[in-house]
């Protein structure tokens, strides 16, 4: 699921220099668009870790909605990273590149066949890093840390904070509170069909902060429809 979203206006197209083989056919290269060009469909998000004042994390361009990000993060935590949320956070956040194009099937390593088959997409076989992005001056774009202070002004519509107790889901669409959201516990089923509507992910009241609880914006379903490729 993706909605139309603009690319930061300071970024212009550049020839990609992937660190992994590109699964896209040669006739359909990935490109990055400036603000005056036709935009690809995207739903930007941020994967973050908690900090003393809120959170800090990295940009993910595609598939940022809860129905895609949460199943991948829950599965990666449970199987590839064997319950180590700090290792998961380090894998996704502590990279040199400015961000990720999308989360991919490398996060599904070790998952049981029913989960892997429900989430995997043969056209999106890994998590590709964003490379070769230039500013309007032609200089390499620098990585921007997204945090609770600048998230509302970023292109991200969702923030996923990897906390010890679970994933805090912060919707930036309603403009209410860019620093808080409900928490999906780590033991939640990755086959849950999570809602993508921001109204289902309200920020907790001030009195309930510090007592995260699993959001009710989900309904378990027996199977999932594989997500479509971007291209």
Q: What is the DSSP string of 76-138?
A: IIIIISTT-HHHHHHHHHS-SSSEES---GGGGTT--HHHHHHH--TT--S-PBP-S-EETTS
Q: Are residues 75 and 86 in contact, defined by beta-carbon separation less than 8 angstroms? A: no
What pLDDT does residue 145 have? 87
DSSP label at 153?
Answer: G
pLDDT by residue for the chain (231 residues), tens only, comes to: 444 344 443 343 343 333 333 333 333 333 333 333 343 457 999 999 999 989 999 999 999 999 999 999 999 999 999 999 999 999 999 998 889 999 999 999 999 999 999 999 877 678 988 887 777 888 887 887 899 999 988 889 999 999 999 999 999 987 767 789 999 999 999 999 999 999 999 988 765 444 444 444 544 444 454 555 544
Side-chain-side CA neighbours of residue 20 (13 Å): 14
Stated pTM of the model:
0.74
Q: Are residues 158 and 64 in contact, defined by beta-carbon separation less than 8 angstroms? A: yes
What pLDDT does residue 27 have? 31
Closest CA to 58 of 32, 20, 21, 97: 97
Q: Write down the domain spans for the chain.
A: 11-17+42-220
Element counts in the chain: helices (H) and strands (E):
3, 11
């Amino acid at each position: 699921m993706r909605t139309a979203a603009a690319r930061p206006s300071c970024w212009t197209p550049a020839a990609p220099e992937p660190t992994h083989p590109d699964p896209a056919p040669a006739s359909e290269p990935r490109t990055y668009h400036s603000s005056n060009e036709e935009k690809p469909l995207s739903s930007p998000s941020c994967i973050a870790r908690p900090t003393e004042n809120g959170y800090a994390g990295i940009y993910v361009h595609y598939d940022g909605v809860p129905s895609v990000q949460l199943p991948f993060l829950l599965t990666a935590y449970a199987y590839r990273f064997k319950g180590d949320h700090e290792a998961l956070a380090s894998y996704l956040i502590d990279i040199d590149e400015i961000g990720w194009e999308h989360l991919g099937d490398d996060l599904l390593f070790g998952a049981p066949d029913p989960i892997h088959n429900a989430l995997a997409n043969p056209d999106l076989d890994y998590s590709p890093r964003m490379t070769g992005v230039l500013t309007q001056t032609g200089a390499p774009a620098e990585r921007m840390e997204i945090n609770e202070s600048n998230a509302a002004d970023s292109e991200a519509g969702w923030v996923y904070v990897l906390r010890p107790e679970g994933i805090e889901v912060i919707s930036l669409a309603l403009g209410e509170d860019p620093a808080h959201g409900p928490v999906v516990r780590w033991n939640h089923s990755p086959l849950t069909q999570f809602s993508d509507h921001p109204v289902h992910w309200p920020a907790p009241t001030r009195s309930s902060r510090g007592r995260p609880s699993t959001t009710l914006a989900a309904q378990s379903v027996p199977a999932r429809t594989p997500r479509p490729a971007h291209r």
